[in-house]
Amino acid sequence: MSALSFLVVGTPRSGTTLTQRLCCELPGVAMPPETHFLHRYAPRLLARRRFPLTPREVERELEDFRHLPTSDGLRLDTGRVLDLVGRRCDTLLDLFAAVVVALCPPALRYGEKTPEHLLWWRPLADADPGLRLVGVVRDPRAVAASHRAVPWGVEDPAVLAEEWALDQRQLRAAARQLGPGRCLLLRYEDVAADPDAARRRLGALLAVRPGGPTAAPDGIVHDWEWWKSSALEAVTTDRTAAWREALPPEDAAAIEEIAGPEMAAFGYLDHPPEGRRRAAAEVRERLSARLHRVRRLTPLAFGRG
What's the maximum distance between 2 C-alpha atoms anywhere in the chain? 58
What confidence score (pLDDT) does residue 279 get? 82
Q: What is the mean pLDDT of the chain?
A: 94
pLDDT tens string 9-63: 999 999 999 999 999 999 999 999 999 999 999 999 999 999 999 999 999 999 9
Share of the chain above pLDDT 90, in %: 85
What confidence score (pLDDT) does residue 304 get? 55
What confidence score (pLDDT) does residue 71 get? 96
Contacts of 188 (CB under 8 A, 6+ apart): 14, 15, 18, 136, 137, 138, 139, 142, 240
**How sure is the predictor about 171, in pLDDT bands with cuts at 50, 70 and 90?**
very high
Let me know: does 144 contact 250? Beta carbons within 8 Å.
no
What confidence score (pLDDT) does residue 271 get? 87
The whole-angstrom separation of Cα 247 and Cα 139 is: 12
**If you average pLDDT over residues 199-227, what whole number do you get?**
87
Contacts of 200 (CB under 8 A, 6+ apart): 210
**If you average pLDDT over residues 257-272, what whole number do you get?**
94
Checking if the pLDDT of 305 tops 50, the result is: no
What confidence score (pLDDT) does residue 74 get? 94
Q: Which of 9-18, 24-33, 79-88, 233-242 has the lowest mean pLDDT?
A: 233-242
Checking if the pLDDT of 214 tops 80, the result is: no
Checking if the pLDDT of 107 tops 90, the result is: yes
Q: Which of 119, 164, 83 is nearest to 7 (CA)?
A: 119
Let me know: does 112 contact 4? Beta carbons within 8 Å.
yes
Checking if the pLDDT of 92 tops 80, the result is: yes
**If you average pLDDT over residues 226-237, what whole number do you get?**
91
The whole-angstrom separation of Cα 52 and Cα 193 is: 46
Share of the chain above pLDDT 70, in %: 97
The whole-angstrom separation of Cα 84 and Cα 73 is: 22
What confidence score (pLDDT) does residue 213 get? 60
Let me know: does 61 contact 88? Beta carbons within 8 Å.
no
What confidence score (pLDDT) does residue 215 get? 66
Q: Which of 73-82, 153-162, 201-210, 277-286 has the lowest mean pLDDT?
A: 277-286
Task: Judge if pTM exceeds 0.75.
Answer: yes
Checking if the pLDDT of 145 tops 60, the result is: yes
The beta-strand segments (E) located in the chain are 6-10, 29-30, 109-113, 132-137, 183-187
Delimit the domains of the chain by residue range: 6-35+103-300
- Residue 120: strand, helix, or coil: helix
**If you average pLDDT over residues 258-282, what whole number do you get?**
90
Residues 6-35+103-300, CATH architecture: 3-Layer(aba) Sandwich (3.40)
pLDDT tens string 152-165: 899 999 999 999 99
Total Cβ atoms within 10 A of residue 10: 28
The whole-angstrom separation of Cα 205 and Cα 133 is: 9
